[in-house]
Amino acid sequence: MKLYTKDHEWIAIDGDVATVGITTYAQEQLGDVVFVELPDVGKQLSKGGEAAVVESVKAASEVYAPLDGEVVEANAKLADDPGLVNLEPETGGWFVKMKLPAGTDTSELMDEAAYEAFVQTL
Amino acid sequence: MLNDKGRPTRPEAADEAPATASTFTGNRALDVEEALIFEIGRAEVTGVDLPTPKGAKSRLGAHARTTPIALPGLAEPEAVRHYVRLSRKNYSIDAGLYPLGSCTMKHNPRLNEKMARLPGFADVHPLQPTGTVEGALEVIADVGRWLIELTGMAACAMSPKAGAHGELAGMMAIKAALSARGSSKPVVLVPESAHGTNPATAALIGFEVKSVPARADGTVAAADVKAAIDDRVGAIMLTNPNTCGIFEPEVAEIAAAIHDAGGYFYADGANFNAIVGKVRPGDFGVDAMHINLHKTFSTPHGGGGPGAGPVVLSERLAAFAPLPFVRIEAGRPVLVEDPSQTRAGETPYGRLAAFHGQMGMFTRALAYMLSHGADGLRQASEDAVLSANYVRASLQDLMTVAFPDHPSMHEVLFDDRFLEGTGVTTLDFAKAMIDEGYHPMTMYFPLVVHGAMLIEPTESESKASLDLFVATLRDLVMGAKAGDAARFTQAPRFSPRRRLDETRAARAPKLKWEKPVAAE
Amino acid sequence: MRYLPLTESDRAEMLARIGVDTVDALYSDVPADELLDHLLDLPKAKGEMEVERIMGRMAAKNLTASAAPFFCGAGAYKHHVPATVDHLIQRSEFLTSYTPYQPEITQGTLQVLFEFQTQVANLTGMEVANASMYDGSTGAGEAVLMAHRVTKRRKAVVSGGLHPHYAEVIATLSAMASDEVARLAPNVGGDEDLLSAIDATTSCVVVQSPDVFGRIVDLKPIADAAHAVGALLIAVVTEVISLGAIEPPGARGADIVVCEGQSLGNPLGFGGPYVGLFAARSKYVRQMPGRLCGETVDAEGKRGFVLTLSTREQHIRREKATSNICTNAGLCATAFSIHLTLLGEAGLSRLAALNHEAACEVADALANLPGVEVLNDTFFNEFTVKLPVNAARLVEKLAKEEGILAGVPVSRLLPEAGLDDLLLVAVTECSTADDRAALVAAISEAL
């Protein structure tokens, strides 16, 4: 199940683990990504709090946690190859995997069709 | 929130054969390729003749250097050639119009250089007995006196070393004044259109930054400021004339609002050069304002500094001015550099830098002030404003003025609506100006305008120079509209380097020269 | 006015195109009662000759370092700067260029900065250096803030050997930012117990070597103690030429090195502008303040240079920036780099040796005077002497009566510390044998 936020993050939920990254649209807006600062494994993220920072040459953006959860893995490949965020934003360029508490409510997130419609309005 | 200010930072491959292909050396006449000193220098070569040390007993203890430093040396002719060749790869105000909005690239008089090099100023130590440097202290006091009179303020702290450092000095005075009153007002209002140093400075000393929107006409509304003020707000930082090149029409009302709330008004003086001799910041309610001597008073920018950022303070803040300062007693300058030397009513909040400030910039600025006089300074402001509005009037039918409802001050702001549908961006347009022999204007600043182009011609340009500049921009706009996109997207084509790959520089930073591994 | 090219008829034509009658119409957003209707109370415009006369008179009131046997230091040093340096930095293209925002037409400035960064990194023994700071003292303040970002702690331990102005800059900045500073008492005897001031809340330890009293400090044990609790060692050098003779801080465990670079390429200038050198371990590069220049290629694949890693900076990060700094000391850094290129490694080593030798000679001669004690066991080109008289009064007297600038009394830097009998004496290659003999004779005479 793949969901989206208005901050242009995607969330792929598999069981109780959510993989989070930024969307194709977001990386196009940012331009060439040159650095991604990721949280440490074990860090508790709360919805809306800062989870990561993504930098292009001329811009820096915070990436906010779309849901509550604990970081179980950060994408180590981005340290050496931040360009993956541009090349494979919604696959190999993921940022973090987080473990969701039971009963996580995802109803505020958009599905793909809703996100595409949202992007059209921008 | 997604930051959408990204833009291409990796060039397309050049579509033409490199113009250097036809020379053996890779040079192009006057444009000579120059290697790094580490590639041409040798550790045993020196361009300075010194006597041979006698080899006396060392007092270095166990600390004598044992490892080589890896510093190349060049003989004097080699060094001269190296740096002269490098210099020729730079644009400069001496060589052409440099319309960087907000940066104020005006003529740098050489008299100022000569004055700064007088041994009586250049060859004196900051900690000599003060009785041996009264002339130097007089210069500091005099520059302060001019700035106080020109701004209508009560005091001037001379030690800040640059504009951003002056901001820090001024905001520290505000913080000191607030805490002297026992007041906890930790929030600073900063308009969206502000230069990035404003929020960075406030945050550096523990203020929380709260943003104030800019109106659709490029100005800040007093009503919006009043709405943002609550009992936690201790100050507002406002640039006036603002970063859109407009004098804030409601500035006095904004000042009154912040004062009524027990707060202070910090003015960013980056654009003071538009109003010198025309209106005094003290008269519109400013409590602290830094003055970029390298902008308004023409001390050279030097490829990125050194600058100088004295900060003028109102009656309400004067007591908190940092150390050191010069006090005039019985007509003679007295240097106050320690709390033990202060008098009643002087409560400096501390020290911002070693010694007394950017003396070499004070001498240059004083030479500039004396040369212009009160009359010349006012004329310079008027000419700067006149020139910016002339450029605007000459281009407004072809380029889109961002905020047409207000006259411009010393700089005119265009946005990129006029490029819509041409496939040419602000960046491309700027790079095409390089091929035409101009340094581009400030681009993508301020952030409140899409594809911003901020043009500041300054008072240093003749009408003929402005006319040629206007004609050039008009031709570029026509070219873009006529579909000649390659003239822009491939630009610059004639500069010492084509577009640089900034993505590569940032992804794998190479910040110093490393000896290449021998290719065996 | 000689700097203003527009004529009255130009102005009239320009106003006509704009469509206003007077330039004051362009100031219509200024409230009418605030627009000045008179000239301010300041002198009127002057020609070159007059300005030269006025400023020449002011300059003539000052006793210049070259006109006197000269022994002042304490963070600003008199060295000979080759004529080539001042000629080259007055090239229009260096002097009157802006920050290199358009790299295609500022490769000159950018390559100089890249060379400068490499020279600074090599000289300090560090992995990476920035494009310079305002000066050494502000660099030290920024280094403390950087250490706080790296360690996420907020307490700096400051050695009593740090130049008092530098310590005051750190204290002022820290007080404003509500950070803690533990500043040790003046380390006159070289026996301060820095290690026991370091604990698990320490972000950084700030140590100067040679320290303000001239003593060379062994940084290694301090670095080890700092690292043992996860703190950083910030090494400060106020006399950069010392690095030609002594082991660099990078080889002794420093994490950040801050230097005042004035000694190379830049005149005394009554305290500024100077140039701050700032170097660090490369793992901390993203927490560094200031401009960085990096190597890349252009669209034709040719090597070129750009400003890089600018997302640390205020124009992008605004209140989240690493610093509010948006310039370097470009031209002073250029002067530094040119002077060091002229010297090369051989020249720098020789220059350092000459400084050291001259200082040794004066120290030995002063130590032989009755009642005078040289406090240093080690030093480079500056040392502390303990006098049987008030040092400030002696300095005043020698300046006035003998035309000798004998040094900096410690009380000038620490007026309340009860160190009125201490004098800092700096001896550089600029002093002649006659100057040195004159100093010793004059002090001997005055005691």
CATH number for region C83-339: 3.40.640.10
Same-fold call for B111-368 versus B376-505:
no
- Range name among B53-62, B387-396, C334-343 with the lowest pLDDT average: B53-62
Q: Taking CB atoms and an 8 Å limit, are B502 and A26 in contact across chains?
A: no
Distance CA C296, CA C303 (A): 6
Q: Is residue A119 part of a domain?
A: no
Write down the domain spans for chain B. 111-368, 376-505
Reply yes or no on whether the pLDDT at B520 is more than 60.
no
- Range name among B6-20, B333-347, B355-369, C192-206 with the lowest pLDDT average: B6-20
Q: Taking CB atoms and an 8 Å limit, are C316 and A58 in contact across chains?
A: yes
> What are the two backbone dihedrals, phi and then psi, of residue B380, each rounded to the nearest 5 degrees?
-60, -45
In angstroms, the separation between the Cα of residue C201 and the nearest Cα of chain A is 22
What is the residue whose two structure tokens read 């040719």? C302
Distance CA B138, CA B147 (A): 14
Name the fold adopted by C65-80+345-446: Aspartate Aminotransferase, domain 1 (3.90.1150)
Q: Which two tokens stand for residue C17?
A: 């195109």
What's residue B21's pLDDT?
A: 62
Residue C137's nearest CA partner among B161, B299, A80 is B161
What are the tens digits of pLDDT across the range B58-79? 999 999 999 899 999 999 999 9
DSSP label of C400:
I
What's residue B1's pLDDT?
A: 42
List CB contacts (< 8 A) between A23 and chain B: none
The string of DSSP codes covering C420-443 is TTEEEEE--TT--HHHHHHHHHHH
Q: State the CATH number of the domain containing residue A65.
A: 2.40.50.100
What's residue B16's pLDDT?
A: 61
What's residue C316's pLDDT?
A: 66
How many domains does one find in chain A?
1
Distance CA B393, CA C14 (A): 9
Distance CA C332, CA B358 (A): 12
Reply yes or no on whether the pLDDT at B519 is more than 60.
no
Distance CA C40, CA B151 (A): 10
Reply yes or no on whether the pLDDT at B202 is more than 60.
yes
Best C28, C48, C53, C105 member to test B by mutation, with max B CBs in 10 Å, is C105
Helix pair angle (C433-446, C330-367), 10° resolution: 50
ipTM over 0.95: yes
B18 pLDDT band, cuts 50/70/90, is low
Q: Is residue A116 part of a domain?
A: no
Judge whether C145 is closer than 8 Å to chain B, CB to CB. yes
Q: Which two tokens stand for residue C303?
A: 């090597």
User: Which amino acid, C99?
Assistant: T
Judge whether C40 is closer than 8 Å to chain B, CB to CB. yes
Q: Are B207 and B175 in contact (CB under 8 A)?
A: yes
Please provide the distance, in angstroms rounded to a whole number, between the alpha carbons at the two ends of chain C. 57
- Range name among B20-29, B43-52, B252-261, C60-69 with the lowest pLDDT average: B20-29
List CB contacts (< 8 A) between B10 and chain A: 32
Between positions 356 and 375 of C, the ones with CB within 8 A of B are: 356-357, 359-361, 363
Judge whether C11 is closer than 8 Å to chain A, CB to CB. no
Domain carrying residue A72: 2-104
B3 pLDDT band, cuts 50/70/90, is very low
Burial of C19 from C-beta contacts in 10 A (0-12 / 13-18 / 19+): exposed
Name the fold adopted by B111-368: Aspartate Aminotransferase; domain 2 (3.40.640)
Nearest Cα residue in chain C from B133: C62
Distance (Å) of CA A23 to CA A74, A90, A94, A95, A116: 17, 6, 10, 11, 11
Hey, which chains touch C, using 3+ CB pairs under 8 Å?
A, B
Hey, which chains touch A, using 3+ CB pairs under 8 Å?
B, C
Q: What is the mean predicted confidence (pLDDT) over B495-518?
A: 93
Q: CATH 3.90.1150.10 region(s) of chain C?
A: 65-80+345-446
What are the tens digits of pLDDT across the range A5-26? 999 999 999 999 999 999 999 9
Q: What is the mean predicted confidence (pLDDT) over B104-122?
A: 98
Judge whether C297 is closer than 8 Å to chain B, CB to CB. yes
In angstroms, the separation between the Cα of residue C230 and the nearest Cα of chain B is 24
For the domain made up of B376-505, the CATH class stated in words is alpha beta
Q: Taking CB atoms and an 8 Å limit, are C34 and B119 in contact across chains?
A: no
The model carries a pTM of 0.96
Distance (Å) of CA C38 to CA A10, B285, B309, B375, C277: 64, 20, 27, 10, 47
What's residue B17's pLDDT?
A: 55
In angstroms, the separation between the Cα of residue A119 and the nearest Cα of chain B is 13
**pLDDT under 70: residue ranges of chain C:** 314, 316
CA atoms within 13 A on the CB side of C298: 23
Q: Which two tokens stand for residue A98?
A: 């987080």
* CB neighbour burial string for C206-216, b if at least 16 within 10 angstroms, e if fewer: bbbbbbbbbbb
Chain A interface residues facing chain C, Cβ-Cβ under 8 Å? 34-35, 55-60
Q: Which of B1, B9, B444 sits opposite A57 (nearest CB)?
A: B9
> What are the two backbone dihedrals, phi and then psi, of residue C241, each rounded to the nearest 5 degrees?
-65, -20
β-strand pairing of B325-329 with B311-313: unpaired
What are the tens digits of pLDDT across the range B132-169? 999 999 999 999 999 999 999 999 999 999 999 999 99
Reply yes or no on whether the pLDDT at B26 is more than 90.
no
In angstroms, the separation between the Cα of residue A81 and the nearest Cα of chain C is 16
What is the H or E stretch that residue C95 is in? helix C92-95
